[in-house]
Amino acid sequence: MQIRKTRDERKKQLYRYVRHSYIENGIMPSVRELADYMKYGSTKSVVLLLRELERDGLIRVHKGKSRGVEILNVTPDDRAFLEVKEVSINVAGHEIYDNENILSTHFLPKSLFYKTGELVAVKFSGSSMRDVGILDGDNVIVKKQTTALNGQIVLAMIDEEIATIKRYYKSDNGVVRLHSENEDMKDIYPEKLDILGLVVGLVRNNIQ
């Protein structure tokens, strides 16, 4: 009985660690990392414990993947991070949010963003928004929505062809103006404009 109890405790210890790693970081440990955490000399013992957790309905193991453990009873509200899909803006129309246009996934702390709603990331290029700190190569975080207030920075589609990030203004007579935060660039007055989202932050990987 004592051996069984010890094994149950180890199984609970492993599950708590896997669950905590996923909730806090969004990244599953590898089997080798789990073996190191449990102080096992080989991965065989961890694999056996993972199989038991899978039979208990707590996890799913995807064979052939280095980090192939999936927690089954975690909801998005449980997690301390957001899964933010990065999409390309080099597409026409509203295909920007299509599943086929997803480039990668970023795991970002919830505490960084005060806005609720669905977020996506887009790679910014150029210098048109440099004066507000949005630089070439930044991953700009966008909250998906179709409206904006005067002065907000938006992701917008011009004439169903060109996606851009600019500061949005609309006059009392309905004239839309997109303002670049770069004194060397002129404002844009599009004939047709669709707002795709509101800029709520950015992630910069390359600090110079």
Q: Kindly name the residue from 21, 128, 143, 180 that is annotated as catalytic.
A: 128
Q: Is 166 a catalytic residue?
A: yes
Residue entry with tokens 């789990």: 34
Radius of gyration of the chain from Cα atoms?
23
Alpha-carbon gap, residue 117 to 93, rounded angstroms: 22
The string of DSSP codes covering 76-105 is: GGG-SEEEEEEE-S-SSGGGGGSGGGEEEE
User: Any residues with CB less than 8 A from the CB of 36 and at least 6 apart, and which?
Assistant: none
Choosing from 166, 170, 180, 192, which is the catalytic residue? 166
- Alpha helix segments (H runs only) across the chain: 2-25, 31-37, 44-55
**128 belongs to the catalytic site:** yes
Q: Which two tokens stand for residue 107?
A: 């795991």
Catalytic residues: 128, 166
